[in-house]
Structure 1
Amino acid sequence: MDTAEVERLIEEGIEDAEATVTKPRVPDEDHEDAHFAAVVVSPAFEDLSLVQQHQRVYDALDGYMTTDIHALEMKTYTPEAYAEHGPDA
């Protein structure tokens, strides 16, 4: 699975989401291509706790988290929070 496919799954699974997915570190031999990092911005996160926001991302990747994705670092934002804090908040 590549970063574009992970982005597509997140964006299709969460209303009005914009996802940016990268590989956060050098792949290891045991889990090559399985470690991802995602920044996801969506108005669907409004009034949800951070745990609920992350659960929405996991739900969008249902089935792939145990097969194609070994690890996923994520930051989630509403559009307002992203505009205020950016990806380094």
Structure 2
Amino acid sequence: METDEVERRIEAAIDDAEASVSLPRVPDEDHEDAHFAAVVVSPAFEGLSLVDQHELVYDALGEAMTTEIHALELKTYTPEEYREAN
């Protein structure tokens, strides 16, 4: 799976989400372990615990979390939290 596909799936499943996905380490051609890092900003995270926010993202990726994605470094923010952090 490519980074743009991960972004597309997240943005399609979470209301008003903006996802930025990268590869945090050099892919190992000898292994199929796809490691991704994602920053997701959405008003849908408002009032949710961090665990619930991450669960929304995992749900958006569905089966890929157990087949095509080996690891996902995840940071989630509401728009206000993101503005404050940056």
Verify same fold: TM over 0.5.
yes
Quick one: which amino acid aligns to residue 10 of structure 1? I
- Please report the TM-score for the alignment, with normalisation by the length of structure 1: 0.92
* Runs of at least 5 residues in structure 1 that lack an aligned partner in the other structure: none
Q: Matched residues in 2 for 1:42 and 1:62: separation?
A: 18
Q: Matched residues in 2 for 1:3 and 1:30: separation?
A: 17
1:55 alignment counterpart: 55
Q: Deviations over 1:6-54 (max 9, x none)?
A: 000000010000000000001122125x110000000000000000000
Q: Matched residues in 1 for 2:32 and 2:80: separation?
A: 35
Confirm or deny that 1:41 pairs with 2:41. Answer: yes
Q: After TM superposition, where is structure 1 displaced by more than 6 Å over at least 4 residues in a row? A: none
* Runs of at least 5 residues in structure 2 that lack an aligned partner in the other structure: none
When the two structures are aligned, how many residues end up with a matched partner? Answer: 85
1:30 alignment counterpart: 31
CA RMSD in angstroms comes to 0.9
